[in-house]
Amino acid sequence: MNRYSKFAAAAAVAAFGLAGQAWAADAVTVQLKWVADAQFAGYFVAQAKGFYKEEGLDVTIKPGGPDIAPEQVIAAGGADVIVDWMPAALAAREKGEELVNIAQVFQKSGLELTCRNDSGVKSPKDFKGKTLGVWFYGNEYPFMAWMNKLHYSTSGDSPDVKVLKQDFNVDPLLQKQAACISTMTYNEYWQIIESGQLKPSDLTVFTYQKEGVAILEDGLYTLEKNLKDKAEREKLVKFVRASMKGWDYAVKNQPEAIDIVIKADTTGAITKQHQTTMMKEIARLVEGSKTGTGYLDASDYKRTVQIVLENKVISAEPKGAYTHVVWDAAMKM
């Protein structure tokens, strides 16, 4: 090979390398709040249908669980984006983590209190003197806000309502350890029904959305430093655009979305029957924004902030805790 041939070969290798760099996908890691199931269908659909790839993204979806706090994962550098409930994100922000909501996927709350009719609970006035199961780790705030609204005490020597710290299952209701327990419209309520021990007619359900004490649940959060970096911000714009496309597709094509979610599950614990029910209920929470999928309504934000302030989760009204900049750039091309 002469020197000109060597030069041409070297140039070709260099050009190939530059092209490879130019076309390299941008890596984005998203940490889920819970295990892989229909609650996160939009992200799995976006990945399976190639929506992330179309945006030039290489997305890693990390399942969550009872021992995983998304706020801690992103603070430690383990994720670029997290799916979280706003009270936990606001609490982390006040402690210095500077989380910012960049999209609000769930437009309505899925949290509810499900009661046995044979416990004598038919309306909120019947809660007095009863044991109610409540999830903690940040999930108790809307419950406490509701009890405050009803003027029921939940602590002290003789509380109006006895609070049972509920694990993430429905056993307390099935075993009559509590008159009511916390459930989600898309998950635990249907676990009760699928158990075969109780029918819908055996239950009375109170939704936090209708009671006026709903907090914002599954939203997308990142750190302020990512928004200040132009390249990182552009990645987030692409991620939000592809994710909302995934959610729109999942809602409109639920059977296919369910199959995609089941394939994404690595535990083998989820069933098609339960995921089918979940997907139907999740779709109802995602839909509803007149502006577009994933848009954060300011009034919903203010209600959530008021609840966490009243429960002293945070000491002062936050500033800069959400932005429409990423959503606007992603959805209003």
Q: Who contacts 7 (Cβ-Cβ below 8 Å, separation ≥6)?
A: none
The reply to whether 124 and 86 lie within a common domain is no
5 pLDDT above the threshold of 60: no
Same domain, 198 and 300: no
Mean pLDDT over all residues of the chain?
93
Domain end: 211, 227, 243, which one?
211
Q: How far is Cα 191 from Cα 275, in angstroms, rounded to an integer?
A: 11
| Of the listed ranges 20-24, 152-156, 220-224, 287-291, the one predicted with least confidence | 20-24
Asked if residue 327 and residue 221 are part of one domain, the reply reads yes
Query: CATH code at 181?
Result: 3.40.190.10
Domain boundary among 211, 234, 250: 211
The verdict on 223 and 92 lying in the same domain is: yes
Of 137, 134, 135, whose CA–CA distance to 68 is shortest? 137
Q: Is there a domain that residue 31 lies in?
A: yes
User: Model confidence at 168, in pLDDT bands (50, 70, 90)?
Assistant: confident
Q: How confident is the model at residue 283 (pLDDT cuts 50, 70, 90)?
A: very high
Average of per-residue pLDDT across 80-86? 97
DSSP H or E stretch at residue 282: helix 272-286
How does pLDDT run across 195-253, given as a tens digit for each residue? 999 999 999 999 999 999 999 999 999 999 999 999 999 999 999 999 999 999 999 99
117-122: average pLDDT: 98
Residues 6+ apart with CB under 8 A from 90: 99, 304, 305, 308, 313, 314, 318, 321
Return the amino acid letter for 47.
Q
Do residues 127 and 185 both lie within one domain? yes
198 plus 63 within the same structural domain = no
Q: Which of 155, 179, 211 is the last residue of a domain?
A: 211
Same domain (yes/no): 202, 232: no
- The span from the CA of 133 to the CA of 113, in Å, is 8
Task: Let me know: does 46 contact 57? Beta carbons within 8 Å.
Answer: no
Same-domain check for residues 171 and 276: no
Please check whether residues 90 and 222 belong to one and the same domain.
yes
Does one domain contain both 127 and 174? yes
Residue 118: the pLDDT is: 98
Residues 89 and 223 in one domain: yes
Where does the pLDDT of residue 4 fall: very low under 50, low under 70, confident under 90, or very high at 90 and above?
very low
Q: Same domain, yes or no, for 294 and 192?
A: no
Query: Measured between alpha carbons, how far is 269 from 274 in angstroms, rounded to an integer?
Result: 11
| pLDDT confidence of residue 8 | 45
Question: Residue 141's domain spans which residues?
Answer: 111-211
